[in-house]
Structure 1
Amino acid sequence: MKKNPYFWLIAIAFLIIDQVTKYLVTQDFTEVGDTFPLWENVFHLTYVKNTGAAFSFFSGGVVWLRWLSLIVSLGLMAFAWFGSRLPKIEQIGYGFILAGAFGNGIDRFLFGYVVDFLDFRLINFPVFNVADVAINLGIICLLLTSFGFTHKSR
């Protein structure tokens, strides 16, 4: 873990945040579709069960998506553990992706669906969760490295 500490820190922190927020939603909302406006008609917390991938793509594909989540998660952990030391931005990017894949994978294995709750209504965007945000942040970090925005770790 000393080799890529930012990877593990981001992955563990965002996995915990993801699972805690999903737990709170399932405890505070009694029915699927229940909603609480944080900013009326702009941003709500809405309880949704998603059987697809991020933003409800591949709806109903929970069986193969659970295995994909597991393979991606194990692959990223092996990459960080056995691979060479990565630049900080790459550690952070891969850590975000692990947190998202593992967080949604846990839901798929335990429940057969993913709990979504972040409902950005201003642009009629699909309901999503912290794991989806983490995956997208990870992709942004890795895109930055591909365009030369790297900070080498010491």
Structure 2
Amino acid sequence: MSLKKASIIIILILLIDQISKFYIKTNFMLGEEVRVSNWFRILFVENEGMAWGAKIPGEYGKLLLTLFRLGAIVGIGYWLWDSVRNNGSRILITAIAFIFAGAFGNIIDSVFYGIIFDDSYGHVASFMPEGGGYGTLFHGKVVDMLYFPLYDGILPEWIPFWGGENFRFFEPVFNVADTAISTGVVLLLLFNKRAFPNKDEEKNE
């Protein structure tokens, strides 16, 4: 796969990711929810830190996380360029493109959203507000909205340890960028041999 085709994949994912985030941020208050079905909801939350809501503690934790993400995206970008240069497999380049686009999408939030939006507490945020954003450069929050509570109920009593307790699956709220990253990782895991063929297999082909 050429770098041009990989770039098209990246641009499409970024457009879908950012358009969906802009729509949610400028039409929903924080915590507002739309029930699409029993197992799919649009729920606006903001993630200040890493996956699953984890955060790096301390005054400079958020800044360190954003700088780490920027360093990671440079590394992923080089991996993509190098894979194309060395005629890597189509599945490998596709997977890296998905991971790159997802990581880049969330970096945009972390770097810029603090200065281009005001907060969403009790009201719908404004884009480029006159009074300034809710944060500073590199201190934005990642917008999440996709929520799939596939099961929400009481577990049977016969289940060890958790029987009789309320259980919800799938609990995390995520976004299109997260989905792209997960898709890329799953592609690498499922098609590992095709993504990373050994030298003997390449010679036979």
2 CA distance for matches of 1:93 and 1:34? 33
| Structure with the higher fraction of residues in helix conformation | 1
Q: Deviations over 1:73-129 (max 9, x none)?
A: 222222333542221111111011111111101101112210000011221411110
Larger Rg: 2
2:148 alignment partner AA: F
1:48 aligns with 2:45: yes
% identical aligned pairs: 34
Q: Deviations over 1:41-78 (max 9, x none)?
A: x2110111111223323376532221122112222222
Secondary structure of 1:58's aligned partner: coil
The alpha carbon displacement at 1:26 in A equals 0.9
Query: 1:34 matched to which residue of 2?
Result: 32
1 CA distance for matches of 2:94 and 2:76? 12
Q: Report the TM-score, using the length of structure 1 for normalisation.
A: 0.84
Equivalent residues of 1:103, 1:131 under 8 A apart:
yes
**Unaligned stretches of 5+ residues in structure 1:** none
Please give the residue correspondences for 1:82-101 in structure 2 after superposition, counting only pairs within 5 Å. Answer: 82=82, 83-101=85-103
1:121 alignment partner AA: P
2 CA distance for matches of 1:144 and 1:10? 20
* Superposed CA RMSD: 2.3
Taking structure 1 as reference, are residues 27 and 58 closer, same or farther at Cα in structure 2, changes over 3 Å only? same
Equivalent residues of 1:90, 1:142 under 8 A apart:
yes
2 CA distance for matches of 1:114 and 1:130? 11
Would you say how many aligned residue pairs link Structure 1 and Structure 2? 148
Higher relative contact order (CA 8 A, sep 6+): 1
Query: 2:124 matched to which residue of 1?
Result: none
**Unaligned stretches of 5+ residues in structure 2:** 115-139, 151-168, 198-205
